[in-house]
A and B are shown apart, each in its own frame.
Chain A
């Protein structure tokens, strides 16, 4: 592998190695939180698409009319100047998914997902810090 070093560096980001690892609930074409793999699986045009918690910046829920909206923001380059760079980007010339917005009639569920993302993110940051302290 020509980018062996990079691959090694980003190994901790891997959601799944095999298709069989998807939670079975992905068949419902709904958002699935996979705590065990620190991953959120999003339905995009009939396909379950994993996003590792380390790619996520935050999530927010809002209401408008009959619908609730869940916006998931991802980490990408150029999001504000002087921000503490807790996310090294493997390739700044790549294209990034910056945000995905879903709507649903079940606002409570979206609030719950939003909270779960925040908690998962908190745990991930904590784990990273502990790892860093161990290395130092």
Chain B
């Protein structure tokens, strides 16, 4: 059994204790129920810098993601061994883009849309958080997120306000409502017609 304190499950309000064992892991807030996941449901794991500290992101077999934030940088070796020895999974170190650029490439993964800047993710959007997408204009795609209803404090009160599927944008006081992308080549403009884009705009 390996134990870590001060861990946040799915952007929860309250930190909890995270315990890893051979058959899976559990997360327990100071008061309330314990969240558990069987080892057999772990399809992959990533290590990266998040908000509270370092994050272990677990890819569930059902293609959802579980976020555990608040680890210390030096926990990596211990966690890496836990995942390798007990779950037969690599804890991949995913360094994120820190350049502050707004251009890159949107790539569709199993559970998330990743926006990669120079082959490093700048951020990821789990599909479970998307309410709607639409073509907002020429070469422009708008993605709307599922917003929490008034007074809602998370997926389940008894999970320390953890925010599972469709609840993540409500975690902070500044809540992401919409994101728009410029995607070239959505309109049927061929490369050998310079100027045709301007004509279309008029």
Contacts and interface: CB of A to CB of B under 8 A. Distances in A.
B102 A51 contact: yes
Given A97-B102, A106-B173, A27 B52 contact: yes
Contacts, number: 164
Interface stretch (B20-28, B81-89, B103-111): B103-111
B50 to A, nearest CB: 5
Interface string B38-59: 0000000000111111010000
A49 B99 contact: no
Contacts of B169: 45
A70 B177 CA distance: 10
Contact of A98 (B55, B173, B182): B182
B129 A95 contact: no
A95 B11 contact: no
Nearest to B163: A46
A36 to B, nearest CB: 13
A13 B201 contact: no
Contact of A48 (B51, B101, B104, B150): B51
Contacts of A74: 102
B172 A98 contact: no
A103 B147 CA distance: 10
A19 to B, nearest CB: 4
Contact of B176 (A44, A89, A92, A94): A44
Task: Tell which of B95, B100, B124 has the most Cβ of chain A within 10 Å.
Answer: B100
A47 B115 contact: no
Interface in B157-178: 168-169, 171-178
A129 to B, nearest CB: 21
B9 to A, nearest CB: 11
A15 B100 CA distance: 5
B50 A47 contact: yes
B115 A95 contact: yes
A16 B50 CA distance: 15
A103 B170 CA distance: 10
B51 A29 contact: yes
Residue of A18, A29, A76, A92 with most partner-chain B CB within 10 A: A29
Contacts of A78: 138-139, 182, 197, 201
A16 B174 contact: no
Contacts of A16: 98-100
A75 interface: yes
B72 interface: no
A29 B174 contact: yes
Interface string B112-127: 0001000000111110
Contacts of A99: 178-180
6 contacts: A43-B172, A45-B168, A46-B171, A91-B103, A98-B140, A102-B175
Interface of A: 10, 13-19, 21-22, 26-31, 39, 42-52, 55, 66, 69-70, 74-78, 81, 89-106
Interface of B: 11, 48-53, 55, 67, 69, 95-96, 98-106, 115, 122-126, 129, 138-140, 147, 150, 168-169, 171-185, 197-198, 201-202
